[in-house]
Structure 1
Amino acid sequence: MDGVAETIDRATSAMIAQFTKGLSPATVAYAFSDWALHLALSPGKQMQLGQKALRKQTRMIDYMMRCCAQQDADPAIDPLPQDKRFNDPAWKEQPFNWIAQAFLLNQQWWDAATTGVKGVNHHHEDMVEFTTRQILDMLAPTNFLATNPVLQQKIVETKGQCLIDGFQHLIEDMQRNLRGEPPMGAEKFKPGDTVATAKGKIVYRNRLIELIQYEPTTEKVRPEPVLIVPAWIMKYYILDLSPHNSLVKWLTDQGFTVFMISWHNPDADDRDLSMESYRLLGPMAAIDAVTKITGSSKLHAMGYCLGGTLLSITAATMARDHDDRLASITLLAAQTEFSEPGELGLFIDEGQLNMLESMMWSQGYLDSSQMGGAFQMLRSNDLIWSHVLNTYMMGERDPMFDLMAWNADGTRMPYAMHSQYLRRLFLEDQLAEGKYEVEGREITLSSIHQPIFVVSTERDHVAPWHSVHKIHLLTGTELTFVLTSGGHNAGIVSEPGHKHRSFHILTRQPDGPSYGADEWVSHAKYQEGSWWIEWGKWLENRSGTPVAPPSMGAPDKGYPPLHDAPGYYVLEH
């Protein structure tokens, strides 16, 4: 009977989760009731908010009067630096300047109303503030014809053609979505044709990975190969996009032998793949193959995003088990401490996990579209409403490019692994607290003795740099930390010659002093350009004298070349 009851509950939660995209209505209601009840019991806060409302009303009236007296009156409030919605000169004309200013003042008031209420659970406060911001973003005057002067001008200039074009774009996108097709233009970026074009061979395959060995582009190579562990929440070829911005090509041109893991895209049959499955069938199987193929006893390992978190777990396990095959470790936009995961943590609590686990339980995996909704909400202005405005109202479809096409080439997350990842790492922070178990025994990052190179990005909504920086607290080994301009993806794809790129860098020697994140910036060296160059020097300083390149694969050791890169797994949908 217990099993039947659990099945009914799971099925009900899964049905609700499909409708809400994994968002728990109970959790949201609980957060708002916590905020509302405590606000109702805080007359001082209410009085403060009333005073703020009166002051903002006074500022608005003063601004309107100054606008009537002079054309270029100073605004009552300036948008936040990242808010570009009201940059067009048309928003300086009456009455649209009044509308924009009233919205920004109202937005600021609601920020004050949803934060700083005594007694409210911190997580609930974050959820209320975030949800309120989403509602305000939806109701922004930029989203409506009657209150958007830029849209009105566009309609006049095109004699209404922009609305017709926008409607056609909407129909096209809806049809593609129903057919499960990628966005318009993404078909021009097929792995192996225009992206993921670095020459190589698949030299190993199991049920979870294909291992790519890339052809050398120099006469001699460093004896220690580089193994890249990408995230399985994304296709590997973000690190081998177009030839001009391919990290793989750049590494081989620097004289490194490069291997890349390409993950299988799980389906319902893979529901029981666990974090341990990913460790054993992923980096551990790849390390075995790379060392046997190259004959090298050491290798440099690099992990990106979720792949970096898995690599840190793998490295700590190898250190515990006295496996000394890693010469160095590089982590790109990868968290190892999850107490402050940023706004993504809004979607991680017991209620949310119950909804996600029920949804994955019913289908065996979490689909990329279900994950993508959460990421889009973190930047709703840029990724949702500006897209709706420009594409479906202005009739202007953004041209497709390699990074955008890659972003639309999503993958799935198997039920067992994703549940363990969210619960053991995000919710319980077991890795940072030394409670994460591998093969029944705990591991700790403090046991890692290899030098570590960590890259984080300034505008990372997935792995906030303050959170990534906390690796300084978890290990005493030599640690070079880089904070680069850009976001989670664009900051990593930062090839030499890329305009407007810069970074801060600082190396902490073994057991040397560590700084808090904000203090760290004042001590770090600022440099213009790409962090790739600094990383290449760092790898060279930890590598041996160049030798002749190894063979492609090693048939005599059980690793024959199986297929040309990029292989089969990257093409799975």
Structure 2
Amino acid sequence: MAETENPNAAQFRLPDPAIVSRTMADVAERGQRIVSDFLKRQSESAADPDPLKIGHAFLEMTTRLMANPGRLMQAQLGFWHDYLTLWQNTARRMLGDEPKPVIAEDDKDRRFKDDAWRDHEVFDFIRQSYLLSARYFRSVVEGTEGLPAHTAQKVDFYTRQFVDAMSPTNFLMTNPEVLRRTAESGGENLLRGLSNLLSDLERGRGKLRIRMTDDTKFRVGENIAVTPGKVVFQNDLMQLIQYSPTTKEVLKRPLLIIPPWINKFYILDLRPKNSFIRWAVEQGHTVFVISWVNPDEKLAEKGFDDYMLEGPYAALDAIEAATGEKGANVIGYCLGGTLLASTLAHMAVRKDTRVKSATFFTTMVDFEEAGELGVFIDEEQLSALEEKMSKLGYLEGREMATTFNMLRANDLIWSFVVNNYLMGQEPFPFDLLYWNDDSTRMPAKMHSFYLRRMYQQNDLVKPGGVDLAGVKLDLRKVKVPAYILSTREDHIAPWKSTYRATQLYKGSTRFVLAASGHIAGVANPPDAGKYSHWVNAELPPEPDAWFKGATELAGSWWPDWHRWVSALDRTMAPARVPGQGGGLAAIEDAPGSFVKVMATD
């Protein structure tokens, strides 16, 4: 009697033996090298097994939970009731019924986009089971009473990290899309994924450094950061770029942009179609941008006041030499905005009036509610970080990048684990993710000051709380017109925290809230037709009251800013060519050499 054929057999195939052989030989050779290098570095350092001090926080939470067993039992009963309902619904589905789901994922959750998560009763059960468990863990943590605020925040954050890591989408046997790809390719996706994993371990020298994009497709100065201009000044900490005009006349008052030095400036000049710098030039601004150095151990003793003196102060001097203009409109982005606010308070004491308007992109100056980054700011973690920085003279670029990626782990970590290692695919070339991976180092002295005095102690908001270059700062003395741009889904600078600056500055202030997050909400050109923004001329004390009275407008906030800043002084002047007709000669073409230095160099 002939065997019955499996109708699905055609969907499966065995991997090519030659590919398997080559891959496993490569794995053995590379794996041995990676392990050897890792063990060597481990023997050279006595690593703290719990550098983030997570264990103590969870021990404290457990102690609090045990003090109120009734609340924990109530949560468990609710969880088991939902779980039994899910079992019953799954059984009914197998019998042909269509019961309503017990739980559904958030509309913005893209992990379960494959139809099989709903169409197949087994994967539907796995999906809902995970979502119920995740809800249970979060509810138990959120319901723990008596925890200090910082401990509660840390426990909540790392509980969500654990919950995200345990998603069934992250595992071969519980992800229908990966199983389907494995069957279709005969497992070659897993072999490619293993090779990708080894490559990422090699890139990170034993630590996993996940590739988020095809970085071979991008070259700074060739296909990103290509707006024409010249470097016209430089010192130890920065190069100053002046961009070439595209209009016959320009606004007489030049524009200076101070980017953060946690990342590189070209987030504002990725591609011509989404470059804020190019767009500002096209609107008639003479644009100058600070390109910060990627520091090494030689700059370990550079402090926050050095960044002020060798950054905005030096740039304003250079701009005056280049254009003859004493006054400038100035933009500060994120940490660059915090530096701008500090500089304005410093200038107020010195009676320096060269900054005629100040624009702040996603900038915090009051760090009382610093969002999820506050998880990493406690005495134990800061002391451990300072000890590490003291040995190198700087904070390694990857450490800061990893911290930011953890704030959006599903998007910036686990989605790439699935794509690169389980699906065995190469990451898609994406300019923003290339920039995100082009990390920078932080000088030890500056970074310690920034984390302690601003994040931990919130001294900048206190009158006289911060002393820079011999001057006690008071943000309430800042009287220049201010434009404050925040983003509604910002995980780094929460908009309600950035709003507090409206109650500090004494000049006329406009607050605008953009949709999306810390990066996409800022780098949002008008032609893209994406993301709305909210405006409200009133500035009540509380951000919720501001939002309640705000009007939502379609599209980018860029034109709103340009109308605001150009209305302050509409005087025009002949276009200025970098390195010509002024007191500064061109040093090299934009984007300069500082920005091309990578943290791995």
TM-score normalized by the length of structure 2: 0.87
Counterpart in 2 of 1:39?
65
Which residue pairs with 1:56 in the alignment? 82
Q: How far does the alpha carbon of each residue in 1:412-454 deviate from its partner, in whole angstroms, 9 at most, with x for none? A: 0000000000000000001112212223442121111111111
* Match among 86, 90, 102 for residue 129 of structure 2: 102
For residue 221 of structure 1, give the secondary structure of its aligned residue in structure 2. strand
Deviations 1:135-169 (A, max 9, x none): 22222111222222221112222332322332232
Q: Paired residues, what number?
A: 552
Aligned with 2:534 (options 504, 514, 517): 504
Over the residues paired in the alignment, what is the CA RMSD in angstroms? 2.2
Query: Equivalents in 2 of 1:132, 1:157: separation in Å?
Result: 36
Aligned to 2:508: 478
Please say if 1:292 is aligned against 2:347. Answer: no
Q: Find the partner of 2:588 among 544, 555, 563.
A: 563
Q: Secondary structure at the match of 1:371?
A: helix
1:383 aligns with 2:412: yes
In 2, the alpha carbon distance for the partners of 1:178 and 1:29 equals 27
Q: Which has the larger radius of gyration?
A: 2
Match of 2:350 among 296, 302, 321: 321
C-alpha separation between the residues in 1 aligned to 2:386 and 2:104?
Answer: 42
Residue 112, structure 1, aligned to residue 139, structure 2: yes
Task: Report the counterpart of residue 7 of structure 1 in structure 2.
Answer: none
Secondary structure of 1:197 counterpart: coil
Letter in 1 for 2:559: I
1:534 aligned onto 2:560: yes
1:373 matched to 2:398? The reply is: no
- Bigger mean CA offset, 250-259 vs 58-67: 58-67
Q: Judge which range, 250-259 or 91-100, deviates more.
A: 91-100
Matched, 1:520 2:549: no
Tell me the equivalent position of 2:7: none
Map 1:384-463 to 2 at 5 A: 384-434=413-463, 435-463=465-493
The aligned residue for residue 467 of structure 1 is 497
- Residue type of the alignment partner of 1:544: R
Give the Å deviation of 1:98: 0.9
- Quick one: distance in 2 between partners of 1:90 and 1:531? 40
- Distance in 2 separating the partners of 1:399 and 1:117: 42
Deviation of the 1:396 alpha carbon: 2.1
- Aligned equivalents of 2:98 and 2:254: distance in 1? 62
Question: Is 1:131 paired with 2:158?
Answer: yes
- Distance in 2, matches of 1:113 and 1:455, equals 36
For residue 522 of structure 1, report the CA deviation from its aligned partner.
2.0
**Equivalent-residue separation in structure 2 for 1:440 and 1:71 (angstroms):** 75
The DSSP-based 3-state class of the residue aligned with 1:251 is helix
Change (3 A) 1:182 1:24: closer
Contact 1:192 1:565 in 2 (8 A): yes
Structure 1, unmatched stretches of 5+, are: 1-11
Could you tell me which residue of structure 1 aligns to residue 22 of structure 2?
none
Q: CA deviation at 1:323?
A: 0.9
Name whichever of 449-458 and 227-236 sits farther off: 449-458
Q: Determine the C-alpha separation between the residues in 1 that align with 2:68 and 2:361.
A: 44
Aligned twin of 2:364: 335
Q: Which residue of 1 aligns with 2:525?
A: 495
Q: What runs of 5+ residues in structure 2 fail to find an aligned partner?
A: 1-41
Aligned partner letter, 1:225: P
The aligned residue for residue 389 of structure 2 is 360
Structure 1 residues 515, 65: closer, same or farther in 2, change over 3 A?
Answer: farther
**How does 1:152-231 map onto structure 2 within 5 Å?**
152-178=179-205, 183=211, 185-231=214-260
Moved more, 434-443 or 375-384: 434-443
Letter of the 2:590 counterpart: A
SS at match of 1:95: helix
Q: Is the 8 A contact 2:210 2:416 kept in 1?
A: no
The 10-residue stretch of structure 1 (276-285 or 490-499) with the greater mean CA deviation from structure 2: 490-499
Q: Contact 2:503 / 2:541 at 8 angstroms: preserved in 1? A: no
Q: CA deviation at 1:209?
A: 0.8
Structure 1 residue 549 displacement after superposition: 2.3
- Distance in 1 (CA, whole Å) between partners of 2:330 and 2:454 is 21
Corresponding residue SS for 2:536: strand
- The answer to whether the Cα contact below 8 Å between 1:232 and 1:411 also exists between their aligned partners in 2 is yes
Cα separation, partners in 2 of 1:54 and 1:188, compared to 1, 3 Å: closer
Q: Which residue of 1 aligns with 2:25?
A: none
Distance 1:529 1:151 in 2: 37
Shift of 1:539: 1.4
Contact 2:322 2:582 in 1 (8 A): no
C-alpha contact (below 8 Å) 2:323/2:582 kept by paired residues: no
| CA-to-aligned-CA distance 1:449-468 (integer Å, 9 cap, x gap) | 11111111122211121221
SS in structure 2 at match of 1:303: strand
1:269 matches 2:298? yes
1:170 Cα deviation (Å)? 2.4
Given that 1:34 and 1:121 are in contact with CA atoms closer than 8 Å, whether structure 2 keeps it comes out as no
Give how far 1:53 is off: 2.6
**What is the letter of the counterpart of residue 543 of structure 1?**
D
From the superposition, tell whether residues 89 and 394 of structure 1 become closer, same or farther in structure 2 (CA, over 3 Å): same
Change (3 A) 1:216 1:182: farther
CA distance in 2, matches of 1:419, 1:443: 19
Give secondary structure in 1 for the equivalent of 2:108. Answer: coil
Secondary structure in 2 matching 1:497:
helix
What is the CA–CA distance in structure 2 between the aligned matches of 1:176 and 1:15, rounded to whole Å? 20
Moved more, 259-268 or 114-123: 114-123
Normalization by structure 1: what TM-score?
0.92
Instruction: Please state how far the C-alpha of 1:179 moved relative to its aligned partner.
Output: 10
| 1:3 equivalent in structure 2 | none
Q: Distance in 2 between matches of 1:545 and 1:475?
A: 26
User: Structure 1: how far apart are the matches of 2:89 and 2:369?
Assistant: 39
Per the alignment, in what secondary structure is the counterpart of residue 107 of structure 1? helix
TM-superposition CA deviations, 1:492-536 (whole Å, max 9, x none): 11111114321112234xxxx514222322211211111111111
SS in 1 for 2:526: coil
- Give the letter aligned to residue 547 of structure 2: V
2:56 to 30, 33, 38: 30
- 1:150 matched to 2:150: no
- Of 308-317 and 492-501, more deviation after overlay is shown by 492-501
